[in-house]
Structure 1
Amino acid sequence: MTVPNLGELREGIRRRAGARPPGPALAHVDDIEGPNGLPLRHYRPSGEKRPLMVFAHGGAWVIGDLDTHDRTCRRIADACDMEVLAVDYRLAPEHPYPAAIDDVAEVVCWARPAAVAGDSAGGYLVTMACLRLRDAGEPLPAVQILICPNTDLTLSQPSVEEKGSGHGLDADFLAWAVAQWTPDPAARAQASPLLASDLYGMPDAVIVTAEHDALRDEGDAYARRLTQAGARVVHRQEAGLVHGFIQNMDLTSHEAAAAHDRLFADVATLVHR
């Protein structure tokens, strides 16, 4: 494959984010500092306290920031009646594995949220943070929300080949991104939540995958493993949709908009129960 120009990738996603309609107005949106000065953005739909979600953005570990996912975080806060704390974690390749996991785990320890959530690589980061905190005996959030998550860095699931061309997330880009995050191939199995030896004690989950996504099978398989480990899992594979549908596809697709509504309803039900 042609090696992507990382600077152009990052600038392009920022430019596209800036051109989209803004998300809903909220009572409070504040940029704050978290542990070690980590940039965070706190969304509050009301002046009254609401359950808190820590959110890690997607972007293949190499792109994305607080602004690229601002609309998505606003919509979650508004639709689910939750506070959302978005994490501007360090990106690869400048900061490879496990730097971003360190950042997300520190924020979860610091904020003690009711839920964690992320799309794509962000979903990977929050579940890896939960595994780390479980192993350290730290308190865990009650719920993890994983949207089209990476869970198998060995890229050995059938959908990588089956859906890895012509559906937005190409297998060659995915392999390149994994290499930026985990340069040592020998580390990738250990860095994969799907391949963890034991998932007992992990939080309940909402896991949504997409039919035409290279990551579909690893997300589906992770939902099965969590269920087998005793977690309560709401799992749905959205027919006809592609990777990244949570990121603004509601603006152009009725099917994606309906999938967003289903996701927000599932999240609100689990977090407010």
Structure 2
Amino acid sequence: MSRLLPPERLHPQVRALPDVTGPIDPARLDEQRRAVADNTPVEAGAGVPVHHVEDVDADGVPCRLYRPADGPLPVIVYTHGGGWVDGGLTSHDPLCRLLAVRSGAAVLAVDYRLAPEHPFPAAPDDVDRAIDWVRSSGAALSLDAGRVALSGDSSGGHLAAVAARRSRDRGIEVRAQALFYPVMDPAGTTWGDVVFPGLKAPNLRWCWDVFVPAHVDRGHPDVSPARGDLRGLPPTLVVTAEHDILTTEAEGYAAALAEAGVSSVTFRAQGQVHGFVRRLARFDAAHAAVDLAAGHLARHLSA
């Protein structure tokens, strides 16, 4: 039987909000997607001003480019969360704006194809295509293709981790990655029986099932990033939430990177729950987490 988390364990800013996360209704997925986008101003605010923002076509992949200044800029390729089935340019616009301003780097937000309409490997292939576009066409937009980093939250953290390894294997240098509570284990072996606010295990299992169809090998590192060869991956920051079913697997990935000789640092936000980083208008911890990621990425992207 599942055990409820005692309310006093949560940060007061989390405790002040009702946990309204219910089961996913596949028949109403489009409605859920619209609701997430429509609620972004309430959850994340309007977003900080950025010097220049434009939507671009990255070789067929819709993306949004945030440039905090003129001149050649390093690039952070950002992959949004949402269980591979939700989220997009609107839901993560305030977060990407803040990351660009705080890091001083351009941020390329990737609007990858979503499941269940487009299951694996559509999303990771789209991320690879966006990275290749930066390398081939970024100079026209004053992007420095030699200084690229990756970042993402939740399922987007999973896609960023996959892209980091695939880039290494393709001979593409990635300077660093910053991952917010990334999804790592399709088997859910560490989720436990405590019910935290926000992300629920049944919903995550459903997301895994529609993202990775039954015929796909879930042991492949493109699905389970921690199972691959981790040597030579870029310096990594992993930010987790204390009360999140993904914390153990995310921190396990960071530990495995360190064992493989990769520079790896983990920070756990006390009292916080899954998804807190995107909710910039709700949680002070969100701003602190973005500052950590921006500093980590800026340091490794500096010339």
TM-score normalised to the size of structure 2? 0.82
Structure 1 stretch 39-48 or stretch 125-134: which is displaced more? 125-134
**1:14 lines up with 2:32 in the alignment:** no
| Residue aligning to 2:233 | 202
2:149 and 2:174 in contact (8 A); partners too: yes
Gaps of 5+ in 2: 1-21, 136-146
**1:34 lines up with 2:67 in the alignment:** no
Q: 1:170 & 1:143 partners in 2: Cα distance?
A: 30
2:196 and 2:273 in contact (8 A); partners too: no
Residues 91-135 of structure 1: per-residue CA shift (max 9 Å, x gap): 000110111000001111221452011101111111112222323
* Deviation, structure 1 residue 140: 2.6
Q: 2:302 & 2:242 partners in 1: Cα distance?
A: 29
Q: 2:177 & 2:267 partners in 1: Cα distance?
A: 14
Is the partner of 2:36 in helix, strand or coil?
helix
Is the partner of 2:133 in helix, strand or coil?
helix
CA, structure 1 residues 27+144, in 2 after alignment: closer, same or farther (shift >3 Å)?
same
| Residue aligning to 2:172 | 139
1:152 and 1:189 in contact (8 A); partners too: no
2:127 and 2:159 in contact (8 A); partners too: yes
Residues 22-44 of structure 1: per-residue CA shift (max 9 Å, x gap): 11111110111011x21111100
| Residue aligning to 1:262 | 292
State the structure with more CA Rg: 2
Q: 2:252 & 2:201 partners in 1: Cα distance?
A: 18
Is the partner of 1:65 in helix, strand or coil?
coil
CA, structure 1 residues 3+27, in 2 after alignment: closer, same or farther (shift >3 Å)?
closer
| Residue aligning to 2:72 | 49
Q: 1:2 & 1:212 partners in 2: Cα distance?
A: 19
**1:111 lines up with 2:134 in the alignment:** yes
CA, structure 1 residues 252+96, in 2 after alignment: closer, same or farther (shift >3 Å)?
same
Q: 2:296 & 2:175 partners in 1: Cα distance?
A: 14
| Residue aligning to 2:112 | 89
TM-score normalised to the size of structure 1? 0.91
| Residue aligning to 2:155 | 121
| Residue aligning to 2:91 | 68
Is the partner of 1:79 in helix, strand or coil?
helix
1:14 and 1:64 in contact (8 A); partners too: yes
Q: 1:210 & 1:76 partners in 2: Cα distance?
A: 19
Q: 2:264 & 2:23 partners in 1: Cα distance?
A: 39
CA, structure 1 residues 97+233, in 2 after alignment: closer, same or farther (shift >3 Å)?
same
**1:193 lines up with 2:225 in the alignment:** yes
1:246 and 1:256 in contact (8 A); partners too: yes
Q: 1:213 & 1:147 partners in 2: Cα distance?
A: 12
Is the partner of 1:168 in helix, strand or coil?
coil
**1:99 lines up with 2:131 in the alignment:** no
Q: 2:240 & 2:54 partners in 1: Cα distance?
A: 31
Gaps of 5+ in 1: none
**RMSD of aligned residue pairs (Cα, Å):** 1.9
1:105 and 1:130 in contact (8 A); partners too: no
Q: 1:257 & 1:71 partners in 2: Cα distance?
A: 11
Between 1 and 2, higher relative CO (CA 8 Å, sep ≥ 6) is seen in: 2
Q: 1:240 & 1:96 partners in 2: Cα distance?
A: 34
Is the partner of 1:264 in helix, strand or coil?
helix
**1:245 lines up with 2:245 in the alignment:** no
| Residue aligning to 1:154 | 187
| Residue aligning to 2:15 | none
Q: 1:141 & 1:26 partners in 2: Cα distance?
A: 24
CA, structure 1 residues 65+242, in 2 after alignment: closer, same or farther (shift >3 Å)?
same
